[in-house]
Chains A and B, each alone.
Chain A
Amino acid sequence: MTFLNRIIEKTGWPRLIIALFLLSLFIMAPFAEVKIGTSLSDTLIRFGMNGIMVLAMVPMIHSGCGLNFGLPLGIIAGLLGATITIELGATGTSSFFIALLLATPFALVFGWGYGNLLNRVKGNEMMIATYVGFSSVAFMCMMWLLLPFSSPTMVWGYEGVGLRTTISVEGFYLHALSNIFAVRIGTFLLPTGMLLFMGFICFLVWAFLHTKTGTAMTAVGSNPVFARASGVNIDRMRTISVMLSTWLGAVGIIVYQQSFGFIQLYMGPFYMAFPAVAAILIGGASVNKASIMNVLIGAFLFQGILTMTPSVMNSIIQMDMSEVIRIIVSNGMILYALTRVKKGAH
């Protein structure tokens, strides 16, 4: 009994309930005449699509900047990279890497500014991050209308100015990663390339966290006083972590687009931070602690629920409550994490 209690204590009730819920969905799936193969491959595809954006939470949590509600800023850097790539006329698989390359300077500059801002508002990072994300999305809404893009695949047909709300990446980098080594067995499709790429990026972040800079960054997050005493420049470490998080957001959205098939502009990135935040928390992270493992578990559980609920629920009770469940689960998880911050930890 104490053993069981320890497990519950360690995983936490909400996480346990969510894991059991997902498990029961998979068990119910055959009875609801939902094809397990399709569901599993859908889950894996969405896992790969969203994984890197969940990973973008890790550096900032490590350096004590809290949950990265400002993820839309990184996403915007990615969108700029993507749209400029198409404008330049790059096609095929190589355009994916060109998009990554072009997004990088934007991500670094945005991240640098964002990091410096967060350094001046210590203790209020999360609320301000949320609004930095919102304001930047709203600002870019105007920019998408005004920037001098001219590629006919992207601008509104009849006016010739302003970008469309959704832009297809077909012919550019659609499934550039997903199709590499893709395995198809019946209805089951494994997007090997995308998962490998995600694994590679996760490995890079893991390796970075174990370098000298990475360790110093973690020290800043877990004990700023100690870090300062041992000669670490706190503000610099925090800025680096924010830049890394922002860059991961940019990479994340481009990977998302190559699988999804569309670039979503305007209000598209608006709420994208919340699913990513919820996912890493479901994976076992807290406001001041996160690991790569949390990312993988969280992204899988969260995306699993998002994939499975609509199909299973729909065929069992003829009521599509998936949207409501998504809202309650993701925000409930964030709420749970915010109210469980250990005292004295900043």
Chain B
Amino acid sequence: MLKKDKDNVIKFLETNLVPILFVIIIAFALPLSGFSIRYLFNEIIVRLVRNLFLVLALLLPIMAGMGLNFGMVLGAMAGEIGLIFITDWNITGLNGLFLAMILSIPLSVLLGWMCGKILNRAKGREMVTSYILGFFMNGVYQLVVLYGMGSIIPIASDSIVLSRGYGIRNAVNLTGIRQSLDRLLPVKIGTTLIPVATFALIAILCLFIIWFRKTKLGHDMRAIGQDMAVAEASGIDVAKTRIISIIISTVLAGFGMVIYLQNIGTMNTYNSHEQVGMFSIAALLVGGASVNRAKIGNAILGVVLFHLMFVISPMAGKNLIGQAQLGEYFRVFVSYGVISISLVLYAIRKQRDRTRAGIALADAQEVPE
């Protein structure tokens, strides 16, 4: 009995190791940073508005057993292309915002379909493949945006085209749609502005995910996530279902990117999407998700913890040893370290579960004396 309790404690620590580690880091760094609670609360709200939608876009492929969708940057690129067009056409406000989202859909579907096809050829190594695919498509994106736009694809506005006549500038100003969604229904609590409209949109996505889990397609995905061979045997079209899960994730990532950038207000044409991929995945893992199990709660907790660390670590580094740079390196290290630890823990657990199942089978076959 005692052994079982011990096993349970170990199991709890194992599944929640990353969030626990993070709470410890934050508890240590928070007083050092010297930020006020009010400031931090404000920051957390801003970060939730910016990032939560993107992080939630990762959930479906995890359900379908395809691991962390590093290919979400494809959706982010589609969202950015949508934003480039509406900026060029000078469509502002909510109209522009939603038009950018609509424009991103066909691109996201196409890219997601391609990503799904490729991942079906790389079963068992989806993550590393989607990761490299992100890099590859970044090259294609640069080819289109840096060389194709303004030369082959007509762009009228001079303000977003490089002075050489083609190619989009490094930074695109999104003043037209800046915080148009956030400012739609602002509610003030104390000194903090809560953008209710954005949160409503995120809530709708959460409801969609909850509802989707209960549909036939959702059940199929979970079955595939449990065991691909069994799912195949029971008549589920595994390849197609996997592609659909990636397509939905890519489309959602495109929407998420539009929401993210409308909050920030300027677009880093050639860098935004890369960072978004890494930070979203790290945030989800910080919330206690793993490669094969992620809930909405993980996403929310993850964004709060991860970005809290992000906000306080440079100041903490500066106050601790006088170098803000150290804190900045620290947060980069933590982002990558978290993903590493989660991947390693998942792989080790998988290997041990296999051994455990073997031992259980052997025990069951033992003849009682």
Which of B129, B131, B146, B340 is within 8 Å of A324, CB to CB? B146
Stretch from A205-213, A289-297, A329-337 forming part of the interface with B: A329-337
Closest Cβ of chain B to A8, distance in Å, is 20
Interface positions of B from 96 to 132, Cβ below 8 Å from A: 118, 121-122, 124-125, 127-129, 131-132
Would B344 and A117 count as touching, CB distance under 8 A? yes
Closest Cβ of chain A to B155, distance in Å, is 17
Task: Encode contact with B along A95-129: 1 for CB under 8 Å, 0 otherwise.
Answer: 00000000000000000000001001111101110
Contacts of A128 in B (CB 8 A): 340, 343-344, 347
Which of A127, A132, A327 is within 8 Å of B127, CB to CB? A127
Interface positions of B from 320 to 368, Cβ below 8 Å from A: 323, 325-326, 329-330, 332-333, 335-337, 339-340, 343-344, 346-348, 350-351
Stretch from A29-37, A54-62, A79-87, A134-142 forming part of the interface with B: A134-142
Q: Is A131 located at the chain interface by the 8 A CB criterion?
A: yes
Would B336 and A142 count as touching, CB distance under 8 A? no
Stretch from B13-21, B42-50, B76-84, B137-145 forming part of the interface with A: B137-145
Q: Tell me the bound Cα distance from A319 to B167 in angstroms.
A: 11
Q: Is A302 located at the chain interface by the 8 A CB criterion?
A: no
Q: Tell me the bound Cα distance from A160 to B351 in angstroms.
A: 48
Per the CB 8 Å criterion, the residue count for chain A at the interface is 37
Known: A122-B351, A331-B135, A338-B132. A141 touches B142 (CB 8 A): no
Task: Encode contact with A along B140-157: 1 for CB under 8 Å, 0 otherwise.
Answer: 101100110000000000
Q: Is A256 located at the chain interface by the 8 A CB criterion?
A: no
Task: Encode contact with A along B88-102: 1 for CB under 8 Å, 0 otherwise.
Answer: 000000000000000
Q: Is A274 located at the chain interface by the 8 A CB criterion?
A: yes
Known: A128-B344, A324-B146, A328-B143. A339 touches B333 (CB 8 A): no
Quick one: closest B residue to A327, CB to CB?
B139
Which of B122, B330, B337 is within 8 Å of A135, CB to CB? B337
Q: Is B136 located at the chain interface by the 8 A CB criterion?
A: yes
Q: Is B196 located at the chain interface by the 8 A CB criterion?
A: no
Most chain B CB within a 10 A radius of its CB, from A69, A127, A130, A321: A127
Known: A123-B347, A319-B147. A339 touches B118 (CB 8 A): yes
Q: Is A146 located at the chain interface by the 8 A CB criterion?
A: yes
Q: Is B133 located at the chain interface by the 8 A CB criterion?
A: yes
Closest Cβ of chain A to B147, distance in Å, is 6
Q: Tell me the bound Cα distance from A323 to B143 in angstroms.
A: 10
Q: Is A341 located at the chain interface by the 8 A CB criterion?
A: yes
Contacts of B146 in A (CB 8 A): 324
Q: Tell me the bound Cα distance from A335 to B343 in angstroms.
A: 21
Known: A328-B143, A338-B125. A138 touches B136 (CB 8 A): no
Q: Is A306 located at the chain interface by the 8 A CB criterion?
A: no
Would A327 and B135 count as touching, CB distance under 8 A? yes
Contacts of A324 in B (CB 8 A): 139, 142-143, 146-147
Contacts of A142 in B (CB 8 A): 326, 329-330, 333
Closest Cβ of chain A to B217, distance in Å, is 25
Q: Tell me the bound Cα distance from A162 to B333 in angstroms.
A: 17
Q: Tell me the bound Cα distance from A319 to B330 in angstroms.
A: 39
Closest Cβ of chain B to A120, distance in Å, is 5
Would B329 and A135 count as touching, CB distance under 8 A? no
Which of A124, A145, A332 is within 8 Å of B329, CB to CB? A145
Q: Tell me the bound Cα distance from A228 to B121 in angstroms.
A: 29
Quick one: closest B residue to A122, CB to CB?
B351
Quick one: closest A residue to B332, CB to CB?
A138
Instruction: Please classify the interface of chain B as helix (H, G, I), strand (E, B), loop, or mixed, using the class held by over half of its residues.
Output: helix
Contacts of A331 in B (CB 8 A): 132-133, 135-136, 139
Would B337 and A339 count as touching, CB distance under 8 A? no
Q: Tell me the bound Cα distance from A288 to B138 in angstroms.
A: 27
Chain B interface size band reads: 35 or more
Quick one: closest A residue to B144, CB to CB?
A324
Q: Tell me the bound Cα distance from A306 to B128 in angstroms.
A: 25
Contacts of B325 in A (CB 8 A): 145
Known: A145-B326, A338-B122. A127 touches B332 (CB 8 A): no
Would A126 and B143 count as touching, CB distance under 8 A? no
Q: Tell me the bound Cα distance from A341 to B143 in angstroms.
A: 29
Quick one: closest B residue to A131, CB to CB?
B340
Would A121 and B348 count as touching, CB distance under 8 A? yes
Q: Tell me the bound Cα distance from A321 to B121 in angstroms.
A: 30
Would B125 and A131 count as touching, CB distance under 8 A? no
Contacts of A120 in B (CB 8 A): 344, 347-348, 351
Would B125 and A126 count as touching, CB distance under 8 A? yes
Q: Tell me the bound Cα distance from A163 to B337 in angstroms.
A: 23
Would A141 and B133 count as touching, CB distance under 8 A? no
Would B147 and A121 count as touching, CB distance under 8 A? no
Closest Cβ of chain A to B284, distance in Å, is 15
Task: Encode contact with B along A256-277: 1 for CB under 8 Å, 0 otherwise.
Answer: 0000000000000000001000
Quick one: closest A residue to B317, CB to CB?
A142
Known: A117-B344, A121-B351. A146 touches B135 (CB 8 A): no
Closest Cβ of chain B to A6, distance in Å, is 23
Would A335 and B332 count as touching, CB distance under 8 A? no
Contacts of A332 in B (CB 8 A): 136, 139
Quick one: closest B residue to A343, CB to CB?
B123
Quick one: closest A residue to B142, CB to CB?
A324
Quick one: closest A residue to B334, CB to CB?
A138
Would A132 and B136 count as touching, CB distance under 8 A? no
Interface positions of B from 244 to 273, Cβ below 8 Å from A: none
- B contact residues vs A (CB 8 Å cutoff): 118, 121-122, 124-125, 127-129, 131-133, 135-136, 138-140, 142-143, 146-147, 323, 325-326, 329-330, 332-333, 335-337, 339-340, 343-344, 346-348, 350-351
**Cross-chain pairs A/B with CB under 8 angstroms, 6 sampled:** A121-B351, A123-B124, A138-B332, A141-B329, A142-B330, A340-B121
- A contact residues vs B (CB 8 Å cutoff): 69, 117, 120-124, 126-128, 130-132, 134-135, 138-139, 141-142, 145-146, 162, 274, 319, 321, 323-324, 327-328, 331-332, 334-335, 338-341
